[in-house]
Amino acid sequence: MTEKALRLGTRRSKLAMAQSGQVADAVSQVTGRPVELVEITTYGDVSREHLAQIGGTGVFVAALREALARGEVDFAVHSLKDLPTTQPDELVVAAIPVREDPRDVIIARDALKLTDLPRGARIGTGSPRRMAQLNAYARTHGLDFETVPIRGNVDTRIGYVTKGDLDAVVLAAAGLNRVGRSDEVTDFLSVDTILPAPGQGALAVETTADNADLIAALAQLDDPLTRAAVTAERSLLAALEAGCSAPVGALADILTDGQIVKEMRLRGVVGSTDGSTLVQLSTTGPVPETHEAATALGRELATEMLAQGAAGLMGERAL
C-alpha cells in the first residue's frame, strides 16, 4: 500500500525547483510519503515590470500562499529573504532548515575579485542593499565603480557578464549553490563588506495552520539556531518598517568558544544607495531560546539604528 503523495507547491524557476526538490527529498524521508511537485506560475514570473514597483519579491510568495489557502497544495518552500515579515494567521512556517552560506558573491569577467575591478567598472545589481554597501566600500577603499540596476533570474544575471555587457554581477552564494553554479563565483564577499539580506541563505517551509500532522512532521527539518538567527534579522527589518526592497542588511551569527555556543551577535546596516551614508551597528546577547527573545534582539538593534538616523535612509527605492 502506498500512501497518498504530499503536494509541494513551487515556482517554475531553476532556483525554486532546485530548493523545492531538495526539501521534497527531506520531507519524503521524514514522513515516508512520496512528495509531488506542483508548479505554480506567479505574477512576478510573467511581469516585465521592476519588482520594486509591483511590491517587491512578495509577489512570488503571494501566489504560493494562495494555492496553500485554496488547498491546492499541502506545503510550499520559500526563500526566507523573500518572505514578508508579517505572517498570515492561517499559515505556519513549520520548518526553517539549516542555513546555507549567507554571503553575497560576485561573478566577474576574467576571474576578477572585487578589489581588482578597474576604475569605472560596471557592477550589476537590482538590490538597494547591495548598491549602498558596494558604493560605501568603494568610497572608503579608494575604488571607483558604478552599480547598474538589473533584474532577472540567475541565468540572466550571469549572462550580463558572459555577454560582456557588465564587468560583474552580485548574487547570493546560496542560490548559486542550489543551482550548482558556485564554481563560477570569482569572489566571495566577506559579510564585513556586504551584510546579507535578512534571512538570506535560509528556506522557510510553510503549511496551513490547521494541518497539525504535517506541521509536526515538517518540524523535524527545523534548525532552532537558524530559526533564532533569522527571527532576529527579520524582526530588525520589521522594526525598521522596511521591506525586502529596502537598503537593509542583517546577519545574526553564533559566537562560540571552542565547540560551546556562547552568544548570538546581530549586525544590521541601512544606507543610502550612493553609499554616502551608512548606519551600521551590532548587538550581542544570550542565544535567544524563544521567538519573543529573538524578536526582542532585532527590535532593540532597530531602536538604536533609528536613533542614529536609519529612518531617513529607508525611503529610498531602487530604480
Ligand X SMILES: NCc1[nH]cc(CCC(=O)O)c1CC(=O)O
Instruction: Note the residues at the interface with ligand X (CB under 6 A).
Output: 57, 79, 81-82, 171-172, 174-175, 200-201
Residue 17 has phi, psi (to 5 degrees) of: -65, -40
82 a catalytic residue = yes
> Which of 171, 264 has the CB closer to ligand X?
171
> Which of 131, 172 has the CB closer to ligand X?
172
CB distance 161 to 186 below 8 Å: no
> Which of 65, 81 has the CB closer to ligand X?
81
Which alpha helices (DSSP H) does the chain contain, by range?
A: 14-31, 43-46, 58-69, 128-140, 154-162, 173-178, 212-218, 224-239, 291-307
Which alpha helices (DSSP H) does 32-98 contain, by range?
A: 43-46, 58-69
Q: How far apart are the first and last CA of the chain?
A: 55
> Which of 205, 211 has the CB closer to ligand X?
205
> Which of 124, 175 has the CB closer to ligand X?
175
Q: What is the largest CA-CA distance in the chain?
A: 67
Q: Which of 25, 45, 82, 89 is catalytic?
A: 82
From 82, 44, 18, 8, select the one nearest 245 (Cα to Cα): 82
Report the nearest approach of ligand X to the CB of residue 170 (Å): 7
Distance between CA atoms of residues 22 and 16, nearest Å: 10
Report the nearest approach of ligand X to the CB of residue 81 (Å): 5
Report the nearest approach of ligand X to the CB of residue 212 (Å): 28
Report the nearest approach of ligand X to the CB of residue 166 (Å): 15
Residue 123, number of CB atoms within 10 A of its CB: 25
Report the nearest approach of ligand X to the CB of residue 97 (Å): 11
CB distance 196 to 103 below 8 Å: yes
> Which of 83, 238 has the CB closer to ligand X?
83
Residue 195 has phi, psi (to 5 degrees) of: -75, 130
Burial 43-60 (b: 16+ CB within 10 A, else e): ebeeeeeebbeeebbbbb
DSSP-derived secondary structure letter, 154: H
Report the nearest approach of ligand X to the CB of residue 135 (Å): 18
Residues marked active site are found at 82
